[in-house]
C-alpha cells in the first residue's frame, strides 16, 4: 500500500485548499491539520440498491409517502442486504431518512420523488458518486471517466429476466 501524501502549511486556508484538491484528484492523504487519513470513497449504484429502491417504491404505491423501517420491509419480502448498501441511495437523492429531535426512529426511510422518477424510468443519474464526510465530491470525467456515465434503472438492474415491477409488486 502506497504511503499517503502529507505536507506542512503555514496557513489553514492553504491546508484546506490542498486537501480539497487532493480529494478531487482521488488521492489518499494525511490531513495536515488533524493527522487523519482523508480520501473520497467511490460508490457505484448497483442492482442491490435498485432492488431496495423497487421495494420502497412498491411500499409507497400501496401506503403513500410514509416512512418505513427498510430492514424490516426487506425482511418481510425475504430480501437480505447485510451491508446496508441501500442506504447509499441517499447520495443520489432517492431516499431520505426520518429525522427526529430525540434520535428515536433511526432506520426509517422513504423514497423521494426523484427516486420514483428514476424507478419509473423518467430520469438518469451518474453511475458513480464520490463521497467524503457524507457529502458528494464533484469528480470530473478527466479524473474518472466513469463519473460522467449516466444510467437508468434498466441499466442498474441489468440481468436476464429481471423486471423492476416484479419487486415493486411484492
Q: What is the pLDDT of residues 127-165, one digit of tens each?
A: 999 888 888 888 777 778 888 899 999 888 875 456 666
CATH number for the domain spanning 108: value is 1.10.10.10
Report yes or no on 63 lying in a domain: yes
**What is the C-alpha radius of gyration for the chain, rounded to an integer number of angstroms?**
19
Report yes or no on 21 lying in a domain: no
Please tell me the pTM assigned to this model.
0.77
Report yes or no on 122 lying in a domain: yes
What is the pLDDT at residue 143? 77
The string over 122-161, giving b where at least 16 C-beta atoms fall within 10 Å of a residue's C-beta and e elsewhere, is: eeebbbbbbeeeeeebebeeeeeeebeeebebeebbeeee
* Domain total of the chain: 1
Q: What is the pLDDT of residues 27-69, one digit of tens each?
A: 788 877 788 888 888 889 988 888 889 889 989 988 988 999 8
Q: Which three cell numbers stand for residue 2?
A: 502506497
Quote the CA–CA distance of 35 and 73 in Å, as a whole number.
Answer: 41
Report yes or no on 52 lying in a domain: yes
Report yes or no on 72 lying in a domain: yes
Residue 108 belongs to what domain range?
45-126+139-168
pLDDT at 1 over 60: no
Amino acid at each position: 500500500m502506497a504511503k499517503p501524501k502529507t505536507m506542512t502549511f503555514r496557513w489553514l486556508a492553504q491546508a484546506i485548499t490542498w486537501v480539497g484538491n487532493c480529494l478531487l484528484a482521488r488521492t489518499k492523504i494525511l490531513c495536515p491539520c488533524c493527522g487523519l487519513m482523508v480520501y473520497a470513497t467511490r460508490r457505484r449504484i448497483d442492482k442491490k440498491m435498485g432492488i431496495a429502491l423497487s421495494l420502497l417504491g412498491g411500499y409507497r404505491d400501496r401506503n403513500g409517502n410514509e416512512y418505513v423501517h427498510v430492514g424490516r420491509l426487506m425482511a418481510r419480502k425475504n430480501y437480505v442486504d447485510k451491508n446496508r448498501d441501500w442506504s447509499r441511495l441517499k447520495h443520489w437523492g432517492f431516499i431520505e431518512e426520518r429525522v427526529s429531535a430525540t434520535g428515536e426512529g433511526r432506520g426509517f426511510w422513504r423514497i423521494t420523488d426523484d427516486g420514483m422518477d428514476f424507478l419509473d424510468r423518467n430520469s438518469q443519474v451518474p453511475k458513480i458518486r464520490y463521497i467524503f464526510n457524507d457529502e458528494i465530491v464533484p469528480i470530473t470525467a478527466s479524473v474518472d471517466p466513469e463519473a460522467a456515465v449516466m444510467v437508468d434503472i434498466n441499466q442498474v438492474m441489468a440481468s436476464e429476466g429481471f423486471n423492476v415491477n416484479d419487486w415493486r409488486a411484492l
